[in-house]
Structure 1
Amino acid sequence: MCVMCVGPELLEQRPRSSSGLGRLLSISGMIRLLCALIASWGGAQGDTASFTLRDFRFASGDTLPLLRVHYRTLGNPRRDAAGVVRNAVLILHGTGGTGAQFLTPVFAGELFGPGQPLDTATHYLILPDNIGHGASSKPSDGLHARFPHYDYGDMVEAQYRLVTEGLRVDHLLLVMGTSMGCMHSWIWAERHAGFVEGVVPLACVPTQIAGRNRMLRRMILDDIRTDPDWRGGDYAAPPRGLRAALQILFVMSSSPLQLQRTAPTRDSADAYISRWVDARARATDANDMLYQFDASRDYDPRADLERITVPVLAINSADDVINPPELGLMERLIARVPRGRYVLIPTSEITRGHGTHTVAAAWKQYFAPFAAGLEAHASR
């Protein structure tokens, strides 16, 4: 899930001053800090393009004559003596996100710069917009509720075909993903183990979505579908149920500790949630959101966990409301993965609930040696 409240939380935790000069200095300092972080990895936006899959067949049996998969790449592929690409990394976003979300200082600034684990001078990074997201084909393009009801398997298939047919990459060093992309990573590990060296799922659990997680998702679906203004997907204006759905999303993706620090008074809390929902409502299409959350309906990789042959580094955070550690699910499931390791990041000043998946400073100490180990193995 793309947790958009992470950015405002980080930005609003700057020193406050009652004077106009103090505010200007604070903002100036923040801008200098962000510029320094961006400069550390070059601030590159990468090359963007779209790849078209013709007559794409979905698991439902529906087909789309032209399926557009938008993507962004950074760096260049490096082939070995046999012509096999050895440095490609596929990075997968969460529900409602896009590949561009990884170009932020808190992610790219920690991973993509010189000498960092995914240095773009030595790695070929592939950041797609998944089906139903960003500039890829989605319901809001015009089909509305007549758009094929894609699932996670369809999304992974489109990713695989983008990599192999669109980019002519025949091997991936790493697949890593956040939230929904985390779940896609598990599917990659099971379907394409011979194609990838290892996977890093961030902020998910390799099991059917059930319990409170499923209930919250069902509430999002119902908020949109039961609104008379939705009109079966052919609404003229955004249905009112969209705002209710976004409020559920906010609860799912928030961190109590950080929100208490960011909004310590009643008025600041009211203002914060109003700004957040208003901003998201302007940027979100109800049908797109409905499809995005419905896509998880049949996700359940449990049956084949023992068959995963590649190394897996699964990372969750203790303050993740969507994947609460007290359930003990990851501990039981990771034991079934032959080469799996699970890391639970303790709650701290830098964790952001579910959104910790994109705050690389919180987990880079585990990721860096894992990625280095994959590279060492791939270079043999």
Structure 2
Amino acid sequence: MSQNWPAVTEGDYIVKDFRFNNGSTLPELKLHYRTLGKLKTDQNGHALNAVLIMHGTSGSGAQFLVDHFAGKLFNPGQLLDANTYFLIIRDGIGHGGSSKPSDGLRAKFPRYGYRDMVRGDYELLTKHLGVDHLRLVMGTSMGGMHSWLWGSTYPDFMDAVMPLASLPAKISGRNRMTRKMAMDAIKSDPEWQGGDYPADKQPRGLITALYVLVFMSSCPLQMQVECPDRETADAWLDAKIAEGMKEKDANNLCFAFDASHDYDPPVQNIKAPLLAVNFADDQVNPPELGIFERETMKIARGKAILMPISEATRGHGTHTIAEVWDDYLKELLQSSDKAKL
């Protein structure tokens, strides 16, 4: 790994009596985060170099600390050089090291939505990290959707917005159906036990949910290249499911899929320059829907980029392969550099 970026600092911020949009509360909501670099402020204490990077459904901020993302962006001289920027990589509510159902409440955990997650991020930044403005807000998949929400909910808070592999519209159609399939597979399994299954024994319905996840994020062309025969295809799938059964929790996954219930960003509110990137082989956000371009056109300074299928793209997962789309990040940073405008 070409890891030449500064050491990662990890921490937790506890929000007391966090009230969710549905009226439920948690006495203590833990928000876990990672930062790289140092915050720079102007003479009035306003943040100048903060960048918020947000992960996808059932993931965590750890997914970005890999060679094909951080190794292409965070090193000295790269676009998000961690010696220049203050990079904030948080675990959203219900994910990673932040408060989530598997911590103990299980199915009794508050039903959270994407708006709760974004509001939690806002509190983390403003009340704990001392960030009152973002140079850039960006995210992948669910984090991309959160980017659309950030731009429309706090339109004066950032200089630029870059959603990756996402659509700025409510979850519907096949996207909604696949999420429901995964949740139904888990909750219809007798081993689910209303969410009170033994902590060391996931319900078998999780296997079916993981099958759905494979199809949601699959890339037919590359899967054919990587698995050209029956034996390699079967082995790949078996390994993928085995890995998921070790890493995923049924309650966490159900809550994470359900969290999109309140997603419908008012994109016309977005003021900052926005450059959104999607991929033609993305099965989660298929280009033929036309939503991507139509909704981005409502943004005064919005631009939609649909990247064609190539040997470098990997379907939905291309969002984390920075070398495929980093030229567009460069374009956005340059066009939104207030020092040069």
C-alpha distance in structure 1 between counterparts of 2:155 and 2:184, whole Å: 37
Q: Does the 8 Å contact 1:117/1:372 carry over to 2?
A: no
Structure 1 residue matching 2:59: 3-state secondary structure: coil
Which structure: larger Rg?
1
C-alpha distance in structure 2 between counterparts of 1:195 and 1:344, whole Å: 26
Q: Partner residue of 1:377?
A: 338
Q: Does the 8 Å contact 2:6/2:37 carry over to 1?
A: no
1:240 aligns with 2:201: no
Q: Given the superposition, is the C-alpha separation of residues 144 and 44 from structure 1 closer, same or farther in structure 2, using an over 3 Å criterion?
A: same
Q: Partner residue of 1:273?
A: 237
C-alpha distance in structure 2 between counterparts of 1:311 and 1:286, whole Å: 38
CA shift digits 1:311-348 (9 cap, x unpaired): 11110000000000111111211111111000011111
C-alpha distance in structure 2 between counterparts of 1:112 and 1:75, whole Å: 10
Amino acid at match of 2:130: R
Q: Partner residue of 2:253?
A: 289
Identity of aligned residues (%): 51
Once the two structures are superposed, the pairs formed by residues 354-373 of structure 1 within 5 Å of their partners are 354-373=316-335
Q: Partner residue of 2:174?
A: 212
Q: Does the 8 Å contact 2:152/2:268 carry over to 1?
A: no
Q: Does the 8 Å contact 1:56/1:67 carry over to 2?
A: yes
Amino acid at match of 2:218: S
* Cα distance, 1:183 vs structure 2: 0.6
C-alpha distance in structure 2 between counterparts of 1:44 and 1:262, whole Å: 34
Structure 1 residue matching 2:338: 3-state secondary structure: helix
C-alpha distance in structure 2 between counterparts of 1:366 and 1:286, whole Å: 36
Choose the corresponding residue for 2:43, options 81, 84, 87. 81
Q: Does the 8 Å contact 2:155/2:269 carry over to 1?
A: no
Q: Does the 8 Å contact 2:151/2:269 carry over to 1?
A: no
C-alpha distance in structure 1 between counterparts of 2:35 and 2:324, whole Å: 25
Q: Partner residue of 1:160?
A: 122
C-alpha distance in structure 2 between counterparts of 1:343 and 1:369, whole Å: 12
Q: Partner residue of 1:141?
A: 103
Q: Does the 8 Å contact 2:222/2:314 carry over to 1?
A: yes
Q: Partner residue of 1:5?
A: none
* Cα distance, 1:258 vs structure 2: 1.1
Once the two structures are superposed, the pairs formed by residues 42-81 of structure 1 within 5 Å of their partners are 42=4, 44-81=6-43
- Structure 1 stretches of 4+ moved >3 Å: none
TM-score when scaled to structure 2?
0.97
Q: Does the 8 Å contact 1:173/1:378 carry over to 2?
A: no
Structure 2 residue matching 1:125: 3-state secondary structure: strand
C-alpha distance in structure 1 between counterparts of 2:216 and 2:125, whole Å: 31
Amino acid at match of 2:177: M
Q: Partner residue of 2:113?
A: 151
CA shift digits 1:31-86 (9 cap, x unpaired): xxxx3xx24xx154510000000000000100000000000000001111222110
Q: Partner residue of 1:112?
A: 74
C-alpha distance in structure 2 between counterparts of 1:379 and 1:174, whole Å: 16
Q: Does the 8 Å contact 2:5/2:76 carry over to 1?
A: no
TM-score when scaled to structure 1?
0.87
Structure 2 residue matching 1:295: 3-state secondary structure: helix
Q: Partner residue of 1:258?
A: 222
RMSD over equivalenced CA pairs, Å = 1.1
Structure 1 residue matching 2:119: 3-state secondary structure: helix
CA shift digits 1:260-310 (9 cap, x unpaired): 111111000000000000011111110000000000012111xx2222111
Aligned residues: 339
Q: Given the superposition, is the C-alpha separation of residues 378 and 240 from structure 1 closer, same or farther in structure 2, using an over 3 Å criterion?
A: farther
Choose the corresponding residue for 1:92, options 54, 76, 80. 54
Choose the corresponding residue for 1:223, options 185, 206, 214. 185
Amino acid at match of 2:193: R
C-alpha distance in structure 2 between counterparts of 1:67 and 1:233, whole Å: 21
Amino acid at match of 1:227: D
* Cα distance, 1:113 vs structure 2: 1.3
CA shift digits 1:178-223 (9 cap, x unpaired): 0101111111111111111111000111001111111111101101
Q: Does the 8 Å contact 1:113/1:119 carry over to 2?
A: yes
Choose the corresponding residue for 2:290, options 317, 321, 328. 328
More helix by share: 1
Q: Given the superposition, is the C-alpha separation of residues 45 and 282 from structure 1 closer, same or farther in structure 2, using an over 3 Å criterion?
A: farther
C-alpha distance in structure 2 between counterparts of 1:53 and 1:65, whole Å: 8
Q: Given the superposition, is the C-alpha separation of residues 118 and 144 from structure 1 closer, same or farther in structure 2, using an over 3 Å criterion?
A: same
Q: Does the 8 Å contact 1:98/1:134 carry over to 2?
A: yes
C-alpha distance in structure 2 between counterparts of 1:317 and 1:249, whole Å: 18
CA shift digits 1:4-40 (9 cap, x unpaired): xxxxxxxxxxxxxxxxxxxxxxxxxxxxxxx3xx24x
Choose the corresponding residue for 1:352, options 314, 328, 335. 314
C-alpha distance in structure 2 between counterparts of 1:223 and 1:343, whole Å: 35
Q: Partner residue of 1:103?
A: 65
